Structure 1
Amino acid sequence: MSSKAVDNINVESQEILITPEQLKAATPMSEAATNTVAESREVIRNILDGKDHRLFVVIGPCSIHDVDAALDYAQRLKQLSDKVADTLYIVMRVYFEKPRTTVGWKGLINDPYLNDTFKIEEGLSIGRKLLLQIAEMGLPTSTEALDPISPQYIQDCISWSAIGARTTESQTHREMASGLSSSVGFKNGTDGGLEVATNAIKSAAKPHRFLGINGQGQVSIIQTKGNAYAHMVLRGGSNGPNYDSVHIALCEAALEKAGISKNIMVDCSHANSNKDPSLQPLVMDNVANQILEGNKSIVGLMVESNIHEGNQSIPADLSQLQYGVSVTDGCISWETTEAAILSMHEKLKSVLPGRRS
């Protein structure tokens, strides 16, 4: 028998992780949190089905790195949500996993202490506790489903999920989306093309069988029913923004040709704001004007917002982190957020009730 090593050559170590059932037992959902998740998922499904006239707005920090700041933001957002609830259905972005083009901080679950210690089990616990605290306020949450294992730990807390532009083409993520309990938005590809996301929506609607883990952490063959509430998210691309009325019409035509419901969500950040967060309110205003002019396909918006505007690099001395400022993509400030949401509410409150009937 050969003595040459051929297995796990580039694996330095393996660590047994807490199972999903164990984490859920340690951080169980309260009745209030359960009701928030169940009711908000139903609201979003009704919006996608045209039974609820409101727009849903997924808004919040690009990523969560400071739990205290996230709760501060959530409390502000809940108060704002209550003011506009007749017209806009607010869902907070609570993103724990960040895809990186090369390397960089991968998010709170992967590295909760921002110091390359990669305490993933602690990150899962911190993240789940935060989601439960926000749900107990009565505020729905959203996240990007990036790692195919982590949904077993937190998806029961999530009201809406995103599949990012880099992973929309991934078979693994299409299969995963087919089994998610929440509605899911697929972003168009980084080139701005629609075909990848259109194919993903069709794929996620179908049943799949694939390898995953069950609640006991055992490797399992997962069989899904398919997710009927997958939809398109326009986020622009390398060719520029794609939220204007011409691109919306092209997207409607592409969805109709593919036999997919004409439900379109506009991501106001990324290429749609030319990566300048201060332009996001202009995108929101443009979308509102399109609705005033008769658009019926736009069902939601995504906005990157934080307590304070802009972003910051993670400093070597973490005590130098600025409170309420993103450590990933730049965000608009709370003051700008509040003004933009209230403006959209004022514009659309008398128009939306009869819009999709």
Structure 2
Amino acid sequence: HAVAQYEPTEGIRLSRTILRDIAQMDIPLAIELLDTKRTRYFDDLLSLTWTGARTVENSELRRQASGMLWPVGFKNRTDGAIKPALDAIESASGANFYDATDSESGATAVLMSTGNKDAFLILRGGEKAPNYAPEDVAAAQAALKARNLLEFVVVDSAHGNSVDENGVRTHKRQIPVFELTVGEWLGGNKKLGAMMEVYLKEGKQEVKSGTSLDSLDYALSPTDPCVGWDDFESVIRRSAARM
């Protein structure tokens, strides 16, 4: 709920219903995990998860990632530093323990893990500079290799990587960044992926304290500005034609 109503149980049930319906269409699901308390409600439906730039140094999320049965991405920090993400990947790659919810009883449990060898790096740019260019990717892959970690990198076209030539962040900038990454993959760097933020309509809408759900446009992002679906479809079709 966007207004002064907080119903976490309803939110979990609704979220699981949506994820289940999508999974039944044989569409792989990827979400960001913000804590360790709710993961077990969804873990039978997920194909990939990631940890964001503001939580990449969270030790609980790092330990949880070590026990996930799918690839887990870690974004570089908001200031652009990739070392915290590399530390997180190294932590997630090894055996560990973490607090979780038991899927049978719903009780709190301590689970042991063997390590997640598919933990990977996501480059999302920083406050002062983007890091989507081929030389940024090469430097990141070299840093991963130096620590004997998986060298796979995903370039997030949004956030600090969607800054235009005037230093202004714009969702439209995601498109050329995405296409540049596709071009690098086509050029031979197969340990590379790309992601972008997409919604039905382009842009975003303001959601303030007291905003009513009825006043919101369901087709417009209530958080980050996004590429619209029509532009996204065009980008994907152009990319597919290049392959």
Which bracket does the TM-score occupy, shorter chain normalised? over 0.9
1:229 alignment partner in structure 2: 118
Answering whether residue 58 of structure 2 is matched by residue 165 of structure 1, we say no
Answering whether residue 189 of structure 2 is matched by residue 295 of structure 1, we say yes
Per-residue CA distance 1:92-139 (angstroms, 9 max, x = gap): xxxxxxxxxxxxxxxxxxxxx222211000000000000011111121
Per-residue CA distance 1:124-173 (angstroms, 9 max, x = gap): 00000000111111211111111211001112111110111111111111
After TM superposition, the structure 1 = structure 2 runs for residues 173-212 of structure 1, keeping only pairs within 5 Å, are 173-212=61-100
1:330 alignment partner in structure 2: 225
2:126 aligned partner, one-letter code: G
SS of residue matched to 2:111 = strand
CA distance in 1, matches of 2:41, 2:170: 34
1:147 alignment partner in structure 2: 35
Answering whether residue 175 of structure 2 is matched by residue 286 of structure 1, we say no
Q: Which deviates the most, 209-218 or 160-169?
A: 209-218
CA distance in 2, matches of 1:240, 1:195: 16
CA distance in 1, matches of 2:55, 2:95: 19
CA distance in 1, matches of 2:134, 2:75: 18
2:22 aligned partner, one-letter code: I
Larger Rg: 1
SS of residue matched to 1:148 = coil
SS of residue matched to 1:266 = strand
TM-score (norm 2): 0.92
CA distance in 2, matches of 1:251, 1:291: 15
Q: Unaligned 5+ residue runs, structure 1?
A: 1-112, 350-357
Superposed displacement of residue 291, structure 1? 2.6
2:171 alignment partner in structure 1: 277
CA distance in 2, matches of 1:129, 1:254: 40
CA distance in 1, matches of 2:99, 2:19: 26
After TM superposition, the structure 1 = structure 2 runs for residues 25-36 of structure 1, keeping only pairs within 5 Å, are none
TM-score (norm 1): 0.64
After TM superposition, the structure 1 = structure 2 runs for residues 302-313 of structure 1, keeping only pairs within 5 Å, are 302-313=195-206
CA distance in 2, matches of 1:116, 1:177: 32
Aligned residues: 235
Per-residue CA distance 1:197-249 (angstroms, 9 max, x = gap): 11111110111123333121222222112111100111011221101011111
Answering whether residue 157 of structure 2 is matched by residue 268 of structure 1, we say yes
SS of residue matched to 2:44 = helix
CA distance in 2, matches of 1:165, 1:283: 19
Contact 2:40 2:100 in 1 (8 A): no
CA distance in 2, matches of 1:226, 1:266: 24
Superposed displacement of residue 253, structure 1? 1.2
CA distance in 2, matches of 1:205, 1:143: 20
Superposed displacement of residue 176, structure 1? 0.8
Q: CA RMSD in A?
A: 1.4
Q: Which deviates the most, 315-324 or 279-288?
A: 315-324
Superposed displacement of residue 289, structure 1? 2.3
CA distance in 2, matches of 1:208, 1:261: 18
2:138 alignment partner in structure 1: 249
1:23 alignment partner in structure 2: none
CA distance in 1, matches of 2:120, 2:236: 23
Superposed displacement of residue 294, structure 1? 3.2
CA distance in 1, matches of 2:144, 2:229: 35
2:166 alignment partner in structure 1: none
Structure 1 residues 340 and 207, CA gap change in structure 2 (3 angstroms): same
Contact 1:284 1:344 in 2 (8 A): no
Contact 2:38 2:101 in 1 (8 A): no
2:224 aligned partner, one-letter code: D
Answering whether residue 44 of structure 2 is matched by residue 156 of structure 1, we say yes
Contact 2:31 2:49 in 1 (8 A): yes
Structure number with the bigger relative contact order (C-alpha 8 A, sep ≥ 6) is 1
Identity %: 33
2:107 alignment partner in structure 1: 218
SS of residue matched to 1:157 = coil
CA distance in 2, matches of 1:208, 1:264: 24
1:123 alignment partner in structure 2: 11
CA distance in 2, matches of 1:260, 1:210: 21
1:309 aligned partner, one-letter code: E
SS of residue matched to 2:175 = helix
Q: Unaligned 5+ residue runs, structure 2?
A: 164-168
